[in-house]
Chains A and B, each alone.
Chain A
Amino acid sequence: MVQKVGIIKTDDLVFEYIRRDEEGNVEGITTAVDHVSLDIAPGQFIAILGHNGSGKSTLAKHINAILNPTEGTVWVDGMDTTDESNIWEIRQRAGMVFQNPDNQIIGQVVEEDVGFGPENMGIPTREIWERVEESLRAVGMYEFRKASPNKLSGGQKQRVSIAGVLAMHPKCIVLDEPTAMLDPNGRKEVIRAVRGLNDVEGVTVILITHYMEEIIHADKVFVMDKGKVAMEGTPREIFSQVERLKELRLDVPQVTLLAYELQKRGMDLPNGILTVEELVEALEKQTKNGRN
C-alpha cells in the first residue's frame, strides 16, 4: 500500500531569532517557532490563526525556504528545505503571497507581471503565454491582462499577485494576510479566488489571516500562540471555543458570537454556528419548539 505523503510536513520545527547588540554580541534569543509538527495533505485548505507575534509568519516563511529551521526539518513535497540544491524547486512548488500588493507587482502590464515567474523558470515563450492566460482566468482577471497594475484596485492587484504565483504551477500556495489592506469587496474577491484555486485547481492552500469569517470553509485550522500550535481542528471545533480564542487575542465570526451571546441569555442553540443560514435555521427551530 502506498502511503499518502504530505505536501508540507514539519517535524519538531524550531526557529530562534537571535538579537545582537552593535558589537555583535548576543543580547537575547526569541523562540518564534517552538517544536511545531505539521502534516498537510495535498489539496487541503488550511487556515493559520494567531495574534501578532504568535509565530505564524515565521512558520510560513519556512514553507518556501525564506527561513531555515534552527532545529527540526521541513519538507515541501518530500524535499528537505535546508538542502540548497532544492531551493528553486521548492519555491516553484510552494508559492507565497504577501500582505501588501504594491510590494509584489513589478511588471508594467498585468500579463507581463504574471509571466515573470515562468519566464525565470526558463519556460518556452509559447507556454508562458498559455500559463499567463489560464492563471489570469483562474483568478478572474483575464479581462485586465493589458491593464497597468497601478490602475487596479487593491483586491485586483492581489489577484494579479496570486496569478503570478499560479503561473509557476505550484502545488501549494501560502498566503500571509492577503486581505489585510483591502476593502470589503476586495477581501471577498480575493477569498473567492483562493477558494476557486483550491476547489477547482486542487492547489493546497495555506491561508494566514486575522479575519475569522474568511476561514469558515477551511478543512483544518491551526491556532498559533507563543510559537506553538495551541489549537487545531475544523472551523466548527475551533469556533465553538469562544472564550479560549479570546484568551489567545482572537475572535470568532460575528454570527458565531451572536449565537454565543444568545446561548448565554438562555436560548438553546448548537455550538459553533458558522453561517447566517445556520443561525436562522436554528432560530426557526426555536420558534417551532416555543409554539409547541
Chain B
Amino acid sequence: MQLILDHVDHVYEEGTQMARKALSDICLTIPKGQFVGIIGHTGSGKSTLIQHMNGLLKPTSGHIYFEGEDIAEKDYDRKKLRSKVGLVFQYPEHQLFEIDVFTDVCFGPKNLGLDKKEVQLRAFNALRKVGLPEDLYYQSPFDLSGGQKRRVAIAGVLAMEPEVLILDEPTAGLDPKGREEILRQIKSLQKETGMTILLVSHSMEDVAEYVDRIIVMNRGSILYDDVPRKVFQHYRELEEVGLAAPQVTYIMHALRERGLPVDADATTIREAADEICRAYGIA
C-alpha cells in the first residue's frame, strides 16, 4: 500500500477551550494508481484529511505511512514527501505569481534543487500533460481564462513529478466543458502514468463518472468507503449528511418504484441508458 492512515485523530487547538475534533479514528489504505473521490459537506473534515497526507498537518494521535515509512518520524524527510505527494488547493490560480506561464511552472522543480535543464524539461512536460496550448507558455498567467489559469496551477504541482496528486475541488467555478476537460486530463494522467489521484469534489455527478472509489466523510469520520455504485445506494443516508446521489440514481429509483424492472444502481448516464434499454428490450 502506498499510503496508510492508521487510527488517525486530529484535534484543532488541542488543550485549549477552543479544542474541536476534526478527524476521528481514520483508517485508510490507498494503493498505488487508484483514483479516489472524497466527498462530504462543508466542515466534514475533507480538507483536514488531505492536509495530513502530505504532512501539512500532523495527527494528534495515530500514524501515517507513505511507502512504508512513518511520516511523523523525526528523521523523515518531509520536504521529499511534499514533492512526492502534490497538493492542489482550491482556487489554485490565486497562487500564480510569475511573469509568464512557463516561469511559474518552473518554480516548484527549481525549489527541488534540480539543474536548469531538468527544471525546464519538467515544466514543459507538465504543461503538455494539462493540455495547455503552446502559444500561451510565454504569456502572463493573468491574461489567461479561468480554466487555463487553473491548468497552469495544476501543471505547477505536476512539474514536481509527484506520485500522488491530491486536488481540492479543481473544477469549482468552471463552466461544464471546462470541468469535463480538466477531469478527463486528470483521468488520463492516472491511466498513462499510474499516478494515484485523490479528488475532493462537491459534484456527485463528476465523482460517479471518474473515480474508482469514494470515501464519504461526515463529522470527521469515514461514513462509507466503496465503489461509486455501492456508495450511492445509500442515497437517503447521504442526503441526511448534506450530500446527494447523482441525478440519474434518483431517476432509476423512481422508475423502479413505478414497477419498471431496472437495476437501480446506475450512477452515470451511460449505465442508466444501458439499463433502461435492457429493460425495454432495445439493443
Partners in one complex: yes
Q: How far is the CB of B262 from chain A (nearest CB, A)?
A: 10
Binary CB contact string for chain A from 247 to 289 against chain B (1 if under 8 A, 0 otherwise): 0011101110110011001110000000011011001101100
Number of interchain pairs (Cβ within 8 Å): 114
Contact (Cβ within 8 A) A262 B273: yes
Which residues of the partner chain B approach A249 to less than 8 Å between Cβ atoms?
175-178
Q: Mark B187-215, 1 if CB is under 8 A from A, else 0.
A: 00000000000000010110000000000
Residue of A nearest to B270 (CB): A261
CB of B173 within 8 A of CB of A210, answer: yes
**Residues of chain B with a CB closer than 8 A to A99's CB:** 173
A153-B43, A254-B205, A276-B254 known; A180 and B282 CB under 8 Å?
A: no
CB contacts under 8 Å to A, within B14-32, are none
Cβ contacts under 8 Å, A18 to chain B: none
Check if B272 is an interface residue, CB within 8 A of chain A: yes
**Inter-chain contact A267/B146, CB cutoff 8 Å:** no
Contact string against A for B residues 229-264, beta-carbon threshold 8 Å, 1 for contact and 0 otherwise? 000000000000011101110110011001010000
**A55 on the B face (CB < 8 A):** no
A52 at the interface (CB under 8 A from B): yes
For B254, the closest partner residue in chain A by CB is A280
| B172 in contact (CB, < 8 A) | yes
With A52-B147, A183-B243, A262-B273 already in contact, the answer to whether A250 and B248 are too (CB < 8 A) is no
A185–B176 touching, CB < 8 Å: no
Q: Does A177 contact B (CB under 8 A)?
A: yes
Q: Is A40 an interface residue (CB 8 A)?
A: no
Q: How many residues of B contact A (CB 8 A)?
A: 39
Chain B nearest Cβ from A269, distance in angstroms: 11
**Cβ-defined partner of A180 (8 Å) among B172, B242, B280:** B172
Please, how many angstroms separate the alpha-carbon atoms of A266 and B254 in the complex?
22
- The answer to whether A265 touches B42, judged by C-beta atoms less than 8 angstroms apart, is no
- A164 to chain B: closest CB distance in Å? 20
Q: A262-B277, A276-B251 are in contact. Are A254 and B176 (CB under 8 A)?
A: no
Over the window 259-283 of chain B, the binary record of Cβ atoms lying under 8 Å from chain A Cβ atoms (1 yes, 0 no) is: 0100000000110110011001010
- Which one of A99, A187, A257, A277 has the highest number of Cβ atoms from chain B below 10 Å of its Cβ? A257
Known: A184-B242, A213-B247. A265 touches B175 (CB 8 A): no
Task: List, in ascending order, chain B residues with CB within 8 A of A50's CB.
Answer: 175
Main secondary structure, interface of B, reads: helix
CB <8 Å contact, A153 and B282:
no
Residues of chain B within 8 A of A286, CB atoms compared: 280
Nearest Cβ in chain B — how far from A79, in angstroms?
Answer: 32
Tell me, rounded to whole Å, the shortest Cβ–Cβ distance linking B75 to chain A.
Answer: 39
- Min CB distance, A245 to chain B, in Å? 9
Q: Mark A77-109, 1 if CB is under 8 A from B, else 0.
A: 000000000000000000000010000000000
Main secondary structure of the interface of A (DSSP, over half): helix
Of the candidates A154, A155, A265, the one whose C-beta lies within 8 Å of that of B277 is: A265
Assess whether B269 is in contact with A254, with CB atoms less than 8 Å apart: yes
Give chain A residues whose Cβ lies under 8 Å from the Cβ of B176. Answer: 210, 212, 249-251
Q: Which one of A154, A250, A279, A287 contacts B175 once the chains associate, using CB atoms below 8 Å?
A: A250
Question: CA of A237 to CA of B273 in the docked complex: distance in angstroms?
Answer: 23
A184 and B173 contact, CB distance less than 8 A: no
Which one of A51, A266, A276, A287 contacts B282 once the chains associate, using CB atoms below 8 Å?
A: A266
Q: Which residues of B contact A290 (CB under 8 A)?
A: 280
- Closest chain-B Cβ to A201's Cβ sits at a distance in Å of 26
Q: Which of B243, B247, B277 contacts A255 (CB 8 A)?
A: B247
Q: Is the beta-carbon distance between B146 and A283 smaller than 8 angstroms?
A: no
B52 in the interface (beta carbon within 8 A): no
Ordered by A's residue number, 20 sampled pairs between the chains whose C-beta atoms are within 8 Å are A51-B178, A52-B174, A153-B42, A153-B43, A154-B42, A181-B172, A183-B42, A184-B243, A184-B244, A186-B242, A210-B175, A210-B179, A249-B176, A258-B273, A265-B277, A265-B282, A266-B282, A277-B254, A280-B254, A283-B276
Most chain B CB neighbours (cut-off 10 Å) among A52, A154, A177: A52
For the complex, is A166 an interface residue (Cβ under 8 Å from B)? no
- Interface flag for A74 (CB, 8 Å): no
Query: A-facing mask of B85-124, CB < 8 A → 1, else 0?
Result: 0000000000000000000000000000000000000000
Q: Is B41 an interface residue (CB 8 A)?
A: yes
